[in-house]
Structure 1
Amino acid sequence: MKTERRFRGIKATLPSKDCNKCGKPFSWRKKWAKCWEEVKFCSERCRRARRGAS
């Protein structure tokens, strides 16, 4: 029998922030666990465009 991986937590309880570039809210990701305080942008696209006019 094949085992299926599922998210077992409640996404609403995850911390979130607003992107410094576009202003959209984004949620915590496991890959950001060690550097969540330093994360400022929701995506690579926003990070690259950070110097442009919003």
Structure 2
Amino acid sequence: MLSWALTFFIIALIAAVLGFTGIAGAAAGVAKILFFVFLVLLIVSALVGALRGKKPM
């Protein structure tokens, strides 16, 4: 999921450089949403792993 966020961020940067502000804004918004979803899933996964008592790989 983090790779999708990075992909949309790169698309936003390229679109911004080329002057496509609408596409750049939309891609940046999607990248931001995906990043926060990834961050929430990472925190939930870490908490579940800590509660189960298993060591991380």
Scaled by the length of structure 1, the TM-score of the pair is 0.24
Higher radius of gyration, 1 or 2? 2
Greater share of residues in helix: 2
Greater share of residues in strand: 1
Scaled by the length of structure 2, the TM-score of the pair is 0.24
